[in-house]
Structure 1
Amino acid sequence: MFGRLGPTEIILILVIVVLLFGAKKLPDTARALGRSMRILKSEAKAMKTDDATANAAKSDAGTSETTETPRTIQAAPGEVSQARPVGEPDANRR
């Protein structure tokens, strides 16, 4: 019954979405979605590099002491005005 959507049904759904949200809000919504995807992608990339750095630091831990600089989270790539320092998670806090 609801297994397949044809082109007519897809067009009908798009028309309903435009009527509900309005043509003015759709570009803003798409822009916000794009920003969110960029932030998610950059955070995932940062997590991968942090893991690689942590693994390398663990293997070199016996040779030298390193001082870590505080990491920052940016609101969006390129927006430095809203960046804030991030501390390491506290294992005792729950």
Structure 2
Amino acid sequence: MRLEGWHIVIIIVIAILLFGAPKLPGLARSVGQSLRIFKSEVRQMKDENTSGTADGEPMEGRVVNNPANPAHPSATPNQGPAPTQTPPPGSTPGTGNPHTTP
């Protein structure tokens, strides 16, 4: 829906009827101040966003979905538990020298 000239005229007439002629300058002034503040805040946010990346300084934060450093090591082959060494036959477990016979 496109706002045309006669739409604006109707809005102005309704504003005059609702607020009265004496209050309209104050209303327009407060709307203007609000828009000015809003524009300055938007400009400040844009400056903050561009200043952090333009300087080449690293930004603080966490990297998400970085293929060089996967969060889940599913890309590496799954290695089971470490193999345990079994004593050779004829030795007793728990003794200092496994090659001696009792």
User: Which range, TM-score by smaller chain?
Assistant: 0.3 to 0.5
Larger radius of gyration: 2
- When normalised by structure 2's length, the TM-score is 0.42
Between Structure 1 and Structure 2, which shows a larger proportion of strand residues? 1
- When normalised by structure 1's length, the TM-score is 0.45
Higher relative contact order (CA 8 A, sep 6+): 1
